[in-house]
């Protein structure tokens, strides 16, 4: 076969390959959500400049939700708002049973004042955020 005859065949082959890689569905199939924290395990006190593992129990509403991490914001020098972040997938067949799961994050004590942790626990009937508040003194 001559080179001139093989070029159209090669071009058709390349077009088919690139066409098969085209993504038809570019719609969003998930969203990020806050997951309810039901408990947190913190030490009785912190020592300055030490690192601590903070264990948290959160609710996974169904099998369509997956834990992604924590959003920890500094409200004041020693006040931390902690929200468990999850992703909820649409159009999936999922278990409907809620379950409590445990995870953790590391915390470094940088200030010599008592810390206040506010763990997001959901919203009340008026849509107001509710928190589990835990104070930890620093030695």
pTM exceeds 0.85, yes or no = no
pLDDT digits (tens, 9 = 90+) for 101-130: 999 999 999 999 999 999 999 999 999 999
Length of the chain: 139
| Residue that the structure tokens 């955020």 belong to | 129
- The beta strand positions in 4-98, using DSSP E, are 30-35, 37-41, 51-60, 65-76, 79-89
């Amino acid at each position: 076969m001559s080179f001139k005859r093989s070029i159209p065949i090669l071009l058709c082959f390349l077009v088919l390959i690139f066409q098969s890689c085209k993504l038809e569905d570019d719609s969003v199939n998930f969203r990020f959500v806050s997951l309810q924290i039901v408990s947190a395990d913190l030490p009785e006190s912190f020592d300055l400049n030490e690192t601590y593992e903070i264990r948290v129990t959160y609710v996974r509403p169904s099998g369509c939700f997956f834990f992604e991490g924590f959003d920890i914001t500094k409200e004041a020098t020693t006040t931390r708002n902690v929200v468990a972040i999850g992703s909820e997938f649409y159009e999936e067949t999922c278990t409907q049973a809620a379950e409590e799961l445990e995870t953790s994050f590391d915390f470094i004590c940088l200030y010599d004042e008592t810390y206040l942790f506010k763990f997001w626990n959901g919203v009340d009937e008026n849509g107001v955020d509710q928190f589990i508040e835990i104070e930890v003194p620093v030695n």
